[in-house]
Amino acid sequence: MSTAIGRRRYLTNFEHHRLPHLFTDVLVIGSGVAGLQAALQAADHADVLLVTKDRLDASASSWAQGGIAAATGPGDSADRHARDTLEVACGLGHEAIIRGVTSEAPSIIAQLVASGARFDAQGATFEAGQEGGHSAPRIIHAADATGREVVRVLIDQARQHPRIRLFEKCFTIDLLSNNGQVVGAVTYSPKYGHQMFWATTTILATGGCGRVYRETTNPPVATGDGLAMALRAGAILRDMEMVQFHPTTLYVAGAARELISEAVRGDGAYLVDRAGRRFMHDHDPRGELAPRDVVSRAIAAEMKLQHEPCVYLDVRHFAPGHFAERFPNLDRLCRQFDIHPERDLIPVRPSMHYLVGGVVVDESGQTNVPGLLACGEVTSTGLHGANRLASNSLLEGLIFGARCGRLAARRAAGAERLSRPLPIGHVLPHSPRTELDLGDVLNSLISLMSRNVAVERSGDRLRETLEIISFWSRYVMDKVFDEPREWETQNMLTVALLIATSAATRTESRGVHFRTDFPATDPAWQRHIDLCRMDDTIQVSTTPLPEAGS
Ligand SMILES: Cc1cc2nc3c(=O)[nH]c(=O)nc-3n(C[C@H](O)[C@H](O)[C@H](O)COP(=O)(O)OP(=O)(O)OC[C@H]3O[C@@H](n4cnc5c(N)ncnc54)[C@H](O)[C@@H]3O)c2cc1C
């Protein structure tokens, strides 16, 4: 497929002899749990620079509510956790990766506790919550602000570490390549303008891309920059059609699409229609605790059937005070909009929540591009397959962040750090075409994605989406812009194209990907869809799963 997107290697013009340079062993891009954990592990043996495009705590990680999955309770085991994860992954999970992660989960929790994280517990026993798709209560949480607590601990440690330097409000525009190897990144900050960071190893931890959709739970930083810059640098991206929608986000005009945690259903909330009728058991015997894709599709079906813009969460049967005590932030949020959960129904609908696909990495976080590691939501590790089990993503970010950090530190020990800039530059002539209202392009893009590439997809809608994105790309991608918002828009167009391309390619329904024109799962499609940029085009191919156990 030839596109204007495939032709771009760098989004910005830069000349190495005109810019300031910084040199380090390890460059980490992103300050969510994955990036912070990678920085901390690497810094035990190497010098680390961490750049992040907003404040340190502006991340999906900080917004995570429900918790971290880990089999710590009596009667539970890593093996059960692995089996639940494999089942939800719908045939695309990598068993060896899943078993490795679920076995490591309890020790990650122990490390966080040792570092000062405070999780809800009775004495030495965690108050583990239950979430959809888990066969045991194993969600370790800190009230309904687990991410904030974990990020607090990691940021404290990073700030105090003598070998970590932190750069906030530093937007990474592109990864730098030299002879096919990533050697750092070119960044922009309002204070210093363009800068070049040179590193023996670069770790991409830029999170997801929820902002490509109009309805999303993700924070403003989630614009898919890392996915797009990895593509431009030659990385393979996998299963980009696998986009998880959270079934229950607050649906109030004027409010952000705040997530109403799955833990609320775990605690016994009902999903009801406007008349108060529980409908989940009409769709799945697991009722409200069915996996997210099932619940999202059931809600979408009910909304369509009843011509309603939302359904409702009902917690009115909870013991008096329980909701406010267990979910204090959600209770506050509802009350801001004059919704009193003990008395009122809470209006909800599905929103884009999590990118299951991403940059392909091996068990250590190595991508196919030398010099580039990646961890967290930006990656496809094989843990989630075609669907993510709730509360497995903080876990994945923490575990793979640590693995990346350790690998980068080992490499730093065996390599000589660059001390002079390489002669890399990029100059694209100015496009003669007309000025653009990029805000309008962005609004149109997020509407298009929400309309055509959301919970349900079909071949004709996907073809229409690809035609429109390709058309917009022709006059957006040929330009050189100067501001983060503009580079973000180019990145979002890129990511949208990848999602729609993969969704059009997968002519079956599996996990979070549902095709109305191919509603069944096709065993022949138990394969990954890989995308990469080659010869100025986006190439699509399929890859079989690794042998079980490998
Ligand atoms: C509302 C909400 C609730 C959630 N609840 C849970 C939960 O309970 N349990 C669970 O397991 N998961 C949960 N998730 C998912 C989970 O939070 C994320 O998958 C995970 O935190 C991703 O971590 P990360 O480190 O990969 O990315 P993030 O935490 O998103 O961090 C990405 C970082 O990269 C930076 N960045 C991005 N682009 C650039 C750029 N161009 N230049 C420089 N920096 C850049 C960002 O500023 C940010 O610091 C939730 C997600 C949301 C949105």
Boundary (domain end) residue, out of 352, 367, 395: 352
39 belongs to a structural domain: yes
pLDDT at position 503, please? 98
| Phi (first) and psi of residue 311, to 5 degrees | -120, -165
pLDDT at position 255, please? 79
**C-alpha of 213 from chain center:** 13
pLDDT at position 549, please? 56
**C-alpha of 52 from chain center:** 16
The half-sphere exposure of 400 on its side-chain side, counting CA atoms within 13 A, is 33
Residues 28 and 133 in one domain: yes
Cβ of residue 397 lying under 6 Å from some atom of ligand 1: yes
Residues 230 and 296 in one domain: no
Residue 387 has pLDDT above 90, yes or no: yes
Ligand 1 geometric centre to CA of 234 (Å): 23
Mean pLDDT (the chain, rounded):
95
Q: Does the predicted model carry a pTM greater than 0.85?
A: yes
Measured CA angle at 143 (ends 142, 147), to 5 deg: 50
User: What mean pLDDT comes out for the span 418-435?
Assistant: 85
Residues 131 and 179 in one domain: yes
Confidence of residue 292 (pLDDT cuts 50, 70, 90): confident
In the numeric block, the tokens 């050697």 are attached to 183
The three-state DSSP-derived secondary structure of 77-131 is CHHHHHHHHHHHCCCCCCHHHHHHHHHHHHHHHHHHHHCCCCCCEECCEECCECC
Ligand 1 geometric centre to CA of 350 (Å): 19
498 belongs to a structural domain: yes
Determine what percent of the chain is predicted with pLDDT higher than 70.
99
Confidence of residue 430 (pLDDT cuts 50, 70, 90): confident
- Please enumerate in sequence order all residues whose Cβ is within 8 A of that of 63, keeping only pairs 6 or more positions apart, or say none: 147, 148, 217, 218, 219, 259
User: What mean pLDDT comes out for the span 19-43?
Assistant: 98
Nearest to 373 by CA among 382, 383, 385, 363: 363
DSSP string, 295-330: HHHHHHHHHHHHT-S-EEEE-TTSPTTHHHHH-HHH
The rounded distance, in Å, linking the Cα atoms of 445 and 62 is 26
pLDDT at position 24, please? 98
Nearest to 184 by CA among 331, 401, 28: 28
Tell me the one-letter amino acid at 451.
Answer: R
Residue 1 has pLDDT above 60, yes or no: no
Residue 46 is inside which H or E element, if any? none
Which one of the listed residues 257, 292, 349, 510 is annotated catalytic?
292
| Phi (first) and psi of residue 195, to 5 degrees | -140, 155
423 belongs to a structural domain: no
The rounded distance, in Å, linking the Cα atoms of 6 and 309 is 38
444 belongs to a structural domain: yes
The rounded distance, in Å, linking the Cα atoms of 66 and 143 is 8
Ligand 1 geometric centre to CA of 32 (Å): 5
User: What mean pLDDT comes out for the span 8-22?
Assistant: 94
Ligand 1 atom 33: residue of nearest CA: 30
pLDDT at position 171, please? 98
Boundary (domain end) residue, out of 319, 334, 352: 352
Residue 420 has pLDDT above 60, yes or no: yes
Tell me, yes or no, if 292 is annotated catalytic. Answer: yes
pLDDT at position 113, please? 97
Question: Checking DSSP bridges between strand 164-167 and strand 311-314, what pairing results, if any?
Answer: unpaired
**Dihedral angle over CA of 340, 346, 352, 353, nearest 10:** 50
The rounded distance, in Å, linking the Cα atoms of 246 and 216 is 9
Ligand 1 geometric centre to CA of 63 (Å): 8
Cβ of residue 373 lying under 6 Å from some atom of ligand 1: no
Mutate to test the pocket of ligand 1, among 394, 403, 481, 488 (most ligand atoms within 8 A of CB): 394
The rounded distance, in Å, linking the Cα atoms of 77 and 96 is 16
531 belongs to a structural domain: yes
Determine what percent of the chain is predicted with pLDDT higher than 90.
87
Residue 2 has pLDDT above 60, yes or no: no
Residues 189 and 77 in one domain: yes
Residues 48 and 181 in one domain: yes
Q: Which of 132-136, 366-370, 480-484 has the highest mean pLDDT?
A: 366-370
12 belongs to a structural domain: no
User: What mean pLDDT comes out for the span 396-403?
Assistant: 98
Residues 278 and 386 in one domain: no
Residue 280 has pLDDT above 90, yes or no: yes
Q: What is the pLDDT of residues 226-278, one digit of tens each?
A: 999 999 999 999 999 999 999 999 998 877 778 888 889 989 999 999 999 99
Q: Two tokens at 107?
A: 């020790």
Residues 212 and 287 in one domain: no
The three-state DSSP-derived secondary structure of 385-453 is CCCCCCCCHHHHHHHHHHHHHHHHHHHHHHCCCCCCCCCCEECCCCCCCCCCCHHHHHHHHHHHHHHHC
What's the chain's length in residues? Answer: 550
CATH number at residue 377: 3.50.50.60
CA–CA distance from 436 to each of 7, 248, 433, 441, 497 (Å)?
A: 20, 36, 9, 8, 20
Residues 331 and 368 in one domain: no
Ligand 1 atom 2: residue of nearest CA: 64
46 belongs to a structural domain: yes
Residue 433 has pLDDT above 80, yes or no: no
Tell me the one-letter amino acid at 255.
Answer: A
Residues 359 and 216 in one domain: yes
Residues 184 and 54 in one domain: yes
277 belongs to a structural domain: yes
Confidence of residue 23 (pLDDT cuts 50, 70, 90): very high
Residues 276 and 145 in one domain: no
Domain range for 174: 22-242+354-414
CATH number at residue 504: 1.20.58.100
**Dihedral angle over CA of 64, 65, 68, 73, nearest 10:** 180
Q: Which residues pair with 243 in a beta bridge?
A: 355
Buried b (16+ CB within 10 A) or exposed e, 299-338: bbebbeeeeeebbbbbbbebeeeebbebbeebbebbeeee
Instruction: Please say whether the beta carbons of 392 and 27 come within 8 A.
Output: no
Mutate to test the pocket of ligand 1, among 27, 41, 61, 488 (most ligand atoms within 8 A of CB): 61
Residues 226 and 282 in one domain: no
Residue 471 has pLDDT above 70, yes or no: yes
Total of domains in the chain: 3
Q: What is the pLDDT of residues 42-64, one digit of tens each?
A: 999 999 999 999 999 999 999 99
User: How many of the other CB atoms lie within 10 Å of CB of 423?
Assistant: 9
Instruction: Please say whether the beta carbons of 28 and 201 come within 8 A.
Output: no
Q: What is the pLDDT of residues 353-363, one digit of tens each?
A: 999 999 999 99
Boundary (domain end) residue, out of 352, 372, 405: 352
